[in-house]
Amino acid sequence: MILLEARTRPQASLGHHPTDRVHLAPNILPDNGEMSGKAAKRWLISGIVQGVGFRYFVQDKAASLDLVGWTRNLSDGRVEVYAVGPASRLSDLAAALHIGPRAAHVRTVEERDENVQNLSGFSIR
DSSP code of residue 50: S
Catalytic residue among 73, 102, 118, 125: 73
Catalytic residue among 9, 21, 55, 102: 55
DSSP 32-69: -STTTTEEEEEEEEEEE-SSSSHHHHHHHHHHHTT-EE
Bridge partners of residue 81, in order along the sequence: 43, 71
Q: Is 9 a catalytic residue?
A: no
Q: Report the catalytic residues.
A: 55, 73
